[in-house]
Structure 1
Amino acid sequence: MVDNPGQPGQPPEHGGRVRRDGYARLNAADLGIDTAALAEDFARLADTYQDLPPDPYARETRRFRRYSHAVYLPWTGELSYIPGAPDEEFGSVTEYWQDEHNPEYPRMRRRLPDIPEALHGNRLLDILVRADLDRALWLEDLHRVPVYVGIHLISLAVHDRAQVAVSSPNCLHQDGGSPATFTFAHLVGRWNVKGGENVIATPESAGRTPDTLPSEAIHDRFVLTEPLDGYGVHDRRVSHYVGPVHLGDGGSDGRRDILIVGIAPYTPGL
């Protein structure tokens, strides 16, 4: 699916379908990414998923993750990573807070392992983040404030048929905080797994699972299969979900690796 084809000979509308519909499915071509030219950077990003630590707050969920903050200045185009806090187990950690919008961790400030510093200069990661920003910065609230960018590496991995890997929260949800919050997801890899269906639904569907909804409440449902396939959502206008992952039929190891980019305005503290 093309994010926003526009008219022949004309550039696409700023923000594309995320602006028009509140969500859009995206792929490498939609984002203007030359996958051949960035093959080495993609390989380095994909390698990072091989040793992601278990989610320290839910080690039994078969969910592995790293997370870091960055700040983007719209008036200069500068993207700068924020150093994490020292941590004995993980080296450094960054605080992750979803207010009341994650029913599994309401108002809990979780401290998650930082992404490796080597990724700060990864060209593919930088291009993905900036492509996502381009689909959010049509919103006036993001033009004159520093923009918060949360960069999340998540792997759902299973090693036998008894295991089930689940995301958090395991229901339709919004990421919340501000009317100017956006969430983008980009598939890095998928091997020998079943499930992992994505669902986009009405905002009123948050807190429910797709099988409890009437059909008219669901905007779209799909499975990401190709590298850099993904989607973007304007958080206040929809809810979103990814289903559990089970082992496929191709062996004893399966995984779904995803990059999540969250975008929101920084709120002044004085």
Structure 2
Amino acid sequence: MSANPSTLSRQGWDRWNLGTEFGIDDSDGDYQSLRAAYGDLPEDPYALGSGRYRRYARGVFLPWSKEFFWMPATESQAREGMNGYYQGDNNPEYVNVTRNLPAISDEVCNNKLLLDIIQFDFSQTRWSEDDAVWPLYVGVHLIKLHIEEEGREAVSSPNELHQDGEPYVFAHLIYRDNAEGGANLIATPEYRGKQPEDVPPADRLADFQMEQSLEAYAITDHLVSHYVGPIRKGAADRPGERAILLADWVPMRHRI
């Protein structure tokens, strides 16, 4: 890593409030446009009935110039409005499966706040001398957990402490409404595959809830394991929702 490590690269996790970092609030036009995109998320085709809705896009970031470009889908994926997402064997629910996920629209991809988030995320990462001269692959996920029925839960994937296989993963809360649960746990790596109750207090590096729009956290994958809990509908007479923007970063010299 570089001679000037970030908190994220040093301790394995960090947290921010991007509303404060960017000097914006919920009335910002770009925020409102990005939030509106979550009203158009289709159900996750690989997890029907889970309460999970999502879209996905792929990009390339050039560390030396800080330029970012969106990647095209394959011809067959483009015809179907999809982008491919592959995690190797890091997600036990989809081992060595390329998931064709609904694509994020060009309009949303060009949202200034989304692009500013990508630049902010890069500024928190640190790369080896070799990685810094290769493009970085950036996967961007719009994910919404949505639950309407009392007594049921909407769950993230995988529903256990895990590592993603991407060196850095950032999670940005776009909004939560009438939702209970969804707590985040960051633990030491040996708890991969375990449940939160299996982690003793000494190995709980961080345990928190994101409540405010544009709160964010990130993990350095090899240093920690992490978990996000399911959500339940709150007391109000409307669905419970938790909307997240995920961005994962991978050096292209390793793999895509």
TM-score (structure 2 length as normaliser): 0.92
More displaced stretch, 242-251 vs 141-150 = 141-150
Change in 2 beyond 3 A, CA 1:141/1:238: farther
Change in 2 beyond 3 A, CA 1:234/1:40: same
What is the alpha-carbon distance in structure 1 between the residues aligned to residue 72 and residue 78 of structure 2?
16
1:189 aligns to 2:175 (yes or no): yes
1:222 aligns to 2:208 (yes or no): yes
Change in 2 beyond 3 A, CA 1:85/1:182: same
Question: Does the aligned pair in 1 maintain the 2:19–2:25 contact within 8 Å?
Answer: no
| Paired position in structure 2 for 1:10 | none
Tell me the alpha carbon deviations over residues 189-213 of structure 1, each in whole angstroms, 9 at most, x when there is no partner. Answer: 0000110000001111111111112
What is the alpha-carbon distance in structure 1 between the residues aligned to residue 186 and residue 163 of structure 2?
10
1:254 aligns to 2:254 (yes or no): no
Question: Does the aligned pair in 1 maintain the 2:186–2:204 contact within 8 Å?
Answer: yes
Letter in 1 for 2:213: P
Change in 2 beyond 3 A, CA 1:15/1:48: farther
What is the alpha-carbon distance in structure 2 between the residues aligned to residue 230 and residue 175 of structure 1?
17
Question: Does the aligned pair in 1 maintain the 2:187–2:204 contact within 8 Å?
Answer: yes
| Paired position in structure 2 for 1:140 | 129
1:233 aligns to 2:223 (yes or no): no
Question: Does the aligned pair in 2 maintain the 1:38–1:123 contact within 8 Å?
Answer: no
Change in 2 beyond 3 A, CA 1:268/1:89: closer
What is the alpha-carbon distance in structure 2 between the residues aligned to residue 19 and residue 48 of structure 1?
31
- Give the 5 Å matches for 1:1-270: 16-28=6-18, 32-36=21-25, 39-85=28-74, 91-176=80-165, 181-267=167-253
How far 1:221 moved relative to its partner?
0.6
What is the alpha-carbon distance in structure 2 between the residues aligned to residue 135 and residue 97 of structure 1?
24
What is the alpha-carbon distance in structure 2 between the residues aligned to residue 114 and residue 139 of structure 1?
31
What is the alpha-carbon distance in structure 2 between the residues aligned to residue 75 and residue 250 of structure 1?
49
**RMSD of the TM alignment (CA)?**
2.2
What is the alpha-carbon distance in structure 2 between the residues aligned to residue 19 and residue 88 of structure 1?
35
What is the alpha-carbon distance in structure 2 between the residues aligned to residue 91 and residue 171 of structure 1?
31
SS at match of 2:235: coil
Of all paired residues, the percent bearing the same amino acid is 37
Q: Which runs of 5 or more residues in structure 2 are unaligned? A: none
| Structure 1 consecutive aligned stretches of length 4 or more whose deviation exceeds 3 Å | 13-16, 85-91, 137-142
How far 1:85 moved relative to its partner?
3.4
What is the alpha-carbon distance in structure 1 between the residues aligned to residue 4 and residue 26 of structure 2?
25
What is the alpha-carbon distance in structure 2 between the residues aligned to residue 72 and residue 111 of structure 1?
22
What is the alpha-carbon distance in structure 2 between the residues aligned to residue 162 and residue 48 of structure 1?
27
SS at match of 1:236: helix
Letter in 2 for 1:69: R
How far 1:162 moved relative to its partner?
3.5
Question: Does the aligned pair in 2 maintain the 1:141–1:265 contact within 8 Å?
Answer: no
SS at match of 1:143: helix
How far 1:233 moved relative to its partner?
0.7
Question: Does the aligned pair in 1 maintain the 2:168–2:221 contact within 8 Å?
Answer: yes
Change in 2 beyond 3 A, CA 1:37/1:211: closer
